[in-house]
Structure 1
């Protein structure tokens, strides 16, 4: 393929949405080139994407064309953009003698993709699919069920009740995955210019949902103990958000869990401020050590507390079934609102989900055992081979949130790809970039794959600390340091 071949094009409007709040003190063209470079390294602007024309992007960002031209010129010099008259300008990664000579995969193997934290399908899926096929004839009417199949809603409601949150089926809306639930709730609760409070860092695609709604994400820091509740309360009073999105259990990417006391405090905050606070519980079932977290919704009586769950992490990402628990008025309103995008989650998928959930609470036991073993393996490999990296061992979830000690996450992710490993840098999990000293490392892959990934990360880190940042043409002061 030609270096300038582009398999997609991004508009000026979409580029503006990807960049978000890109401005920072100093020349505008420097801030713009920094933001575009970060987006390319993070994958928000995929490689071989045709960029908008300079005039189009200038209009979308409400800046001068000269500013865009200067930023583009900077990125062309660095190798993050390639241009040719008549062929446009496309995104790229810088080429260097070091990067060009590095293998694209180790030992001829395919690239290890650690950008997705998701395991393979469990053996139980096949049995559940066969049982669901047997039940399908009883549901072979028109097949449109915006609220979800009654049987599945009953099973999900019972799961909440068993966890101490009494729930009726009319409080459950079945969605096409948790991401669908997040997007649907975001779109109906907020519009252009409205504020939505999120954790920093947080789930990448939750940020996508906020941006797609035209809303503005307002970050509140989260750490090893979970969300900063004092700052959350002051933020709610200052900005009056339309929605708050939290991940209370085994948070993605930090792995933190809110304590029982903290959950009660958040529910009380929702009551006192009248703010809808949603808890994403997709990782709740993946508790590897100690007792499972308390139910996010508590006694279930607070109408401002909404819970989201799905089959994707506990069972399989290819089974696109999720749900939302909230007041019956809200689930009905969302069922009506979803008609603009779909008319219901596929019936067969819902029947499979009902079979799996009826077989026992939580994730399948073999999944927990494998995740625990993988986590412990990754922890050992990091301590042995990259001892300067720091992290807190999570008691559940699917990933480690690593502190590199220096702000080089985006540069490391670019070099890692040249050494056969794809990883997502820290800035991808933030509202406005930053977190260049952080890296998310999932432990969902098999042991031998994690070991190959570690080989590539060690080589990439050695290249970076040995001058690889200069090879990537990352100038001082733009997210790169000499280490």
Structure 2
């Protein structure tokens, strides 16, 4: 198999490449060199033609030609007649099977590796700290620190007091849990990594929602997962679609986000949760339910899928404090059957020996006031959503969306537009957005008209964000997909 990069994939991974100083071709060359350096582009991989990349980036072909020439001069790229432009073999070995290691690095997270002060990036959700987080930190320092400092072990499964607090948290919500079922992780992200390592290998079939969360889908892709996407309705992932996928593909894992789905914000009904739990028990297929995408909440949120499943079902429940308390708290956990929790703990030991004890002590304090914390975050995000909807209706009335039941983003349809083209225009106006096709495991263009737009911003930032998006939309609407000048960043 020829290791070649599609133009859409390359554009997604380049992200906010126009930010910086110097000629535009130099900035493009720098962006491409960075992808090579981090392993997203690897030795022997073929790049798109100059014309195709120029069209996708909305720049002149001369800009791409000059960037490729600069990289060839530096030994990063090679060009041969009949084989196109490829990453030089000097950057590393080429695998004979054509698999491209590192090629699934998530474009959603590229902005985290850059300093882009002139760009408003809405690629990732932002959850600034609530005051309760600062209070919890103060309480840990004043009351818990001596005992914590005397603890000289790693606690790879998590501090016993935190595991007990998480178990009590689930039990109080209708899911009886013991501390032996809990593994504390460095964010929900690590929990998904551990589960993927346990269940998946090259070619493993996985049932996923379509669309879905690109961050976790890429973790599974790196394990070699083969996705079988199932659409959603108003109650969550379509149960009949899951049944068909189970019958046809015998999946190794079902991955779902019931509370709340990312990016649509759909809240899975209790009846749908019960159906999935029964499917897991009947066919012996594990379910990974990722409940970390919280923030704004519905008042009638059902208990996790595990609470609706028969005893013999194998359900792993993942959650964290990042969206509720603060994104800077890289502290999550998973709940699983005791034997599975122990197997996942062994992988946690190999990963990092254990999560930071100070963070865990803060999490204990936050869990004691979890309901008030969650209510405050939901109140903030509901107000932000109200502002966002008002601004969007006034500035881009042709955009369409359904108000989400929860979470922190809108899933917006732009009728008749190509979201990837709009992303390049938006970048020229100082906004980095995620086009819909990034948020799917199907690999198709079903969501070519969609973008995900987080709304967890202060009023001033939100107004500026919508202003820039409105200007970008008018430009695309008036001039279509003609070449624009991404060097211009509006601030």
* Pairwise TM-score range, normalised by the shorter structure: 0.7 to 0.9
- State the partner residue of 2:24: none
Change (3 A) 1:358 1:213: same
- State the partner residue of 1:464: 476
1:258 equivalent in alignment to 2:271? no
- Asked if the contact 1:416–1:457 (Cα under 8 Å) also holds between the matched residues in 2, the reply is yes
- State the partner residue of 2:139: 131
- State the partner residue of 2:97: none
- TM-score, length-normalised on structure 2? 0.79
Please state how far the C-alpha of 1:223 moved relative to its aligned partner. Answer: 4.0
Matches within 5 A, 1:68-79: 68=46, 71=49, 74-75=52-53, 77=61, 79=63
> In 2, distance between residues paired with 1:57 and 1:313?
32
User: Which of residues 270, 293, 306 is equivalent to 1:297?
Assistant: 306
1:207 equivalent in alignment to 2:186? no
> In 1, distance between residues paired with 2:162 and 2:449?
43
Change (3 A) 1:470 1:401: same
1:275 equivalent in alignment to 2:285? yes
Please state how far the C-alpha of 1:384 moved relative to its aligned partner. Answer: 1.7
Please state how far the C-alpha of 1:78 moved relative to its aligned partner. Answer: 7.8
> In 1, distance between residues paired with 2:179 and 2:467?
49
Matches within 5 A, 1:438-453: 438-453=450-465
What are the superposed Cα offsets for residues 100-153 of structure 1, whole Å, 9 maximum, x if unpaired? xxxxxxxxx843222221220111111111222231322333231111011001
What are the superposed Cα offsets for residues 184-233 of structure 1, whole Å, 9 maximum, x if unpaired? 10011111121222111111210121122122232212244321211111
Partner secondary structure for residue 219 of structure 1: strand
> In 2, distance between residues paired with 1:69 and 1:347?
45
Matches within 5 A, 1:68-467: 68=46, 71=49, 74-75=52-53, 77=61, 79=63, 82-83=67-68, 84=70, 85-87=72-74, 88=76, 110-133=118-141, 134-139=143-148, 140-284=150-294, 286-287=296-297, 289-299=298-308, 301-361=311-371, 363-431=373-441, 432-434=443-445, 435-467=447-479
Partner secondary structure for residue 338 of structure 1: helix
Partner secondary structure for residue 245 of structure 1: strand
- Asked if the contact 1:224–1:392 (Cα under 8 Å) also holds between the matched residues in 2, the reply is no
Change (3 A) 1:89 1:72: farther
Please state how far the C-alpha of 1:406 moved relative to its aligned partner. Answer: 2.1
> In 2, distance between residues paired with 1:37 and 1:110?
20
Residues matched between the structures, number: 421
What are the superposed Cα offsets for residues 252-299 of structure 1, whole Å, 9 maximum, x if unpaired? 100111111111001111111110011111135631x43223332115
- TM-score, length-normalised on structure 1? 0.80
> In 2, distance between residues paired with 1:156 and 1:69?
48
- Asked if the contact 1:143–1:347 (Cα under 8 Å) also holds between the matched residues in 2, the reply is no
> In 2, distance between residues paired with 1:445 and 1:39?
24
**Unmatched tracts of structure 1, length 5 or more:** 1-11, 20-31, 62-67, 92-108, 474-483
Change (3 A) 1:176 1:41: closer
Change (3 A) 1:179 1:458: same
Change (3 A) 1:200 1:113: same
Partner secondary structure for residue 173 of structure 1: strand
